Structure 1
Amino acid sequence: MDKKNALRAGALAAGTTLMMLLMTSPALALARDDGDSPGHGLSVADTLGLYVLIPLGLFAVIAGLVMALDKSKDRAPKAKSGTKSGTAVDAKV
């Protein structure tokens, strides 16, 4: 029964998307508005640099600063106090 409902939902979503795409008209994109001054388009290299390389570089810089300025000495995860594994090790010693 779930397969039938999933198929019905998929068909409905596909049909709705198709109708929306068919009803939208790009004709209004050809008419320029007053004060509209589009610039030149971006090349592939410009687009990749702007939307891929710069965000990755910023992420790397921020991650590097966080790691470099981290003052904590203990990097290993700490065991929770009161766990059975922690008390069993302490009891054997």
Structure 2
Amino acid sequence: MSNKVNKNALRAGTITAGVTLVLLMSSPAFALTRDDGDDPGPGLSVIQTLGLYVAAPIVLFLVIAGLVMVGSKKSDWHYSKN
């Protein structure tokens, strides 16, 4: 039991150290001043945001689910014929 606890503690410490390192390395992303050549471009409207982050994933999910259902019906038909 003690060995397992030590492995879990080591694993948790490693993950914590890795996340801390990544956050420290990405800190310039939170800078208040812009760098030369930094052009964020125009923002998205509410409709564009909803389309990109809500509608598109739902449509993609439905297309993939439909393809899986069609594929499974074809394979059921194939196996039931034999």
- TM-score class, shorter-chain normalisation, is 0.5 to 0.7
TM score, norm. by length of structure 1 = 0.49
CA RMSD, Structure 1 to Structure 2 (Å) = 3.8
TM score, norm. by length of structure 2 = 0.53
In structure 1, the residue matched to 2:36 is 32
Q: Which runs of 5+ in 1 are unaligned?
A: 82-93
Note the 1:1-93 alignment, pairs <5 A.
1-26=3-28, 27=31, 30-33=34-37, 37-43=39-45, 45-61=47-63, 63=66, 67=70, 72=74, 75=76, 78=79
> Distance in 2 between the 1:45 and 1:15 partners?
40
Aligned length: 73
Give the percent of matched residue pairs that are identical in Structure 1 and Structure 2.
34
Q: Which runs of 5+ in 2 are unaligned?
A: none
Cα distance change of structure 1 residues 14 and 43 upon mapping to structure 2, 3 Å threshold: farther
